[in-house]
């Protein structure tokens, strides 16, 4: 025992020092980033499950009222239906295009007799599955039933932009603009954002920039316009201006992982790797299933000399999307 004791004490001392060093330098090979206790994806799943229970209750009420001529009105005032819708919409806020949620929302709209909204949600479901033509058909059906249904018209414009059909998108945009004008209202930030998207695919750079700036001027918190403008400015080498715009918006939307990711990417371009690290680590706390996000964090760790951290993040990116297996962290370096 006397012979073993000194070695045991020495081993314990080394282990203790190692733990202290790991803690002090924030180096932890497994789960070294401090994730928040409340995972948005787990919360979204909880909302979905609770929404499904209320949906089933609403469906039973719908069936019971089959012969009631006032069924639609009674369903509109049904608390379970309203609660289910709110939960499903919150799911989409936490996890956009969450599987099955759009179909639930379409069914709830059917229960209320709101067929325009039913087609709107069916179109969004098709779009989330990359079924472009089916989405356009659904949005058109919604507009046939209600020609001034702005949500469906906006989604049709965005879908045509995604398809690359600038002329058709512009035609639909002009319809939207006329409807807004005839109602006596003024174009809002979303209108200018839509016009910017059309200008982009029509390769009208000046109009693209002008409409993005106008959109943000009208609504500084318009996240999509801010992201696009920051990306545009970064492509022109105006990193500080792009970072400033993102930081200002993040102060209003601190839990937007996409904004934080964008800030990290532009910080990498600027060469501010410490700033990029902070932004990307904040983003990964909110979005844990984004291969590009883990890949960018791997790039930053590689740059600041944290090789083991970079390896773990790269492995995580590959687990989510195997295509990242052949990506090089910094292709400009040999």
User: What's the pLDDT tens digit per position in 51-61?
Assistant: 999 999 999 99
| 152 contacts 143 by C-beta, under 8 angstroms | yes
pLDDT for the residue 40 = 67
Q: Residues 147-176: pLDDT tens digits?
A: 999 999 999 999 999 999 999 999 999 999
Q: Residues 4-35: pLDDT tens digits?
A: 444 444 444 434 333 333 333 333 333 334 43
pLDDT for the residue 15 = 40
pLDDT for the residue 143 = 98
pLDDT for the residue 44 = 85
More confident residue, 191 or 326: 191
Classified as helix, coil or strand, 327 is coil
Q: pTM for this one?
A: 0.77
Is residue 330 predicted with pLDDT exceeding 90?
A: no
Q: Residues 223-281: pLDDT tens digits?
A: 899 999 999 999 999 999 999 999 999 988 888 888 999 999 999 999 999 999 999 99
Q: Which residue, chain included where needed, has tokens 């005839």?
A: 182
More confident residue, 43 or 46: 46
In b/e form, how buried is each residue of 219-251, taking b as 16+ CB within 10 angstroms?
beebbbbbbbbbebbbeeeebeebbebbeebbe
Up-side HSE of residue 333: CA atoms within 13 Å toward CB?
7
Alpha carbons 202 and 53: distance in angstroms, whole number? 46
Is residue 36 predicted with pLDDT exceeding 70?
A: no
DSSP 38: S
Alpha carbons 85 and 104: distance in angstroms, whole number? 8
Is residue 41 predicted with pLDDT exceeding 80?
A: no
Where in 58-202 does DSSP place strands (E)?
Answer: none
DSSP 185: P
| 174 contacts 167 by C-beta, under 8 angstroms | no
Mean of the per-residue pLDDT values for the chain? 87
Alpha carbons 261 and 263: distance in angstroms, whole number? 5
First to last CA, the chain: 55
Helices 150-163 and 115-128: crossing angle in degrees, nearest 10, is 20
- Tell which residue, 134, 121, 211, 201, has the closest CA to residue 162: 201
Q: Residues 48-107: pLDDT tens digits?
A: 999 999 999 999 999 999 999 999 999 999 999 999 999 999 999 878 778 899 999 999
pLDDT for the residue 332 = 53
What is the enclosing helix (H) or strand (E) of 190?
helix 189-201
- Tell which residue, 122, 157, 162, 125, has the closest CA to residue 142: 122
pLDDT for the residue 12 = 42
Q: Which residue, chain included where needed, has tokens 């937007």?
A: 256
Q: What is the mean pLDDT of residues 305-329?
A: 88
Q: What is the mean pLDDT of residues 283-294?
A: 88
pLDDT for the residue 199 = 97
State what percent of residues in the chain have pLDDT above 90: 74
């Amino acid at each position: 025992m006397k012979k073993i004791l000194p070695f045991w004490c020495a081993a314990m001392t080394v282990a203790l020092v190692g733990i202290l060093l790991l803690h002090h330098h924030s180096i932890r090979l497994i789960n070294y980033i401090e994730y928040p206790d409340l995972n948005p994806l787990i919360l979204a799943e909880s909302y979905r499950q609770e929404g499904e229970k209320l949906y089933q209750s609403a469906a039973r009420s719908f069936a019971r009222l089959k012969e009631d001529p006032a069924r639609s009105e009674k369903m509109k005032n049904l608390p379970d239906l309203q609660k289910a819708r709110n939960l499903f919409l919150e799911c989409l806020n936490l996890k956009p295009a969450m599987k099955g949620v759009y179909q639930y929302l379409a069914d709830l709209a059917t229960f209320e007799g709101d067929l325009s909204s039913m087609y709107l949600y069916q179109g969004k479901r098709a779009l989330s599955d990359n079924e472009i033509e089916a989405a356009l058909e659904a949005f058109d059906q919604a507009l046939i039933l209600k020609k001034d249904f702005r949500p469906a018209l906006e989604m049709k414009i965005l879908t045509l932009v995604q398809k690359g059909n600038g002329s058709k998108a512009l035609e639909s945009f002009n319809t939207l603009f006329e409807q807004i004008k005839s109602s006596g209202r003024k174009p809002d930030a979303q209108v200018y954002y839509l016009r910017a998207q059309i200008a982009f695919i029509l390769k009208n750079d000046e109009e693209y920039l002008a409409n993005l700036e106008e959109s943000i001027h009208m609504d500084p918190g318009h996240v999509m316009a801010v992201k696009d403008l920051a990306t545009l400015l970064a492509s022109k080498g105006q990193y500080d201006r792009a970072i400033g715009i993102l930081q200002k918006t993040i102060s209003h939307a601190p839990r937007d992982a996409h904004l934080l990711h964008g800030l990290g990417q532009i910080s990498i371009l600027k060469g501010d790797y410490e700033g990029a690290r902070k932004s990307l680590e904040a983003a990964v706390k909110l979005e844990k299933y984004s291969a590009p996000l883990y890949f960018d964090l791997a790039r930053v760790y590689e740059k600041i000399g944290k090789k083991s951290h970079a390896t773990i993040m790269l492995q995580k990116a590959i687990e989510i999307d195997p295509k990242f297996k052949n990506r090089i962290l910094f292709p400009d370096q040999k």
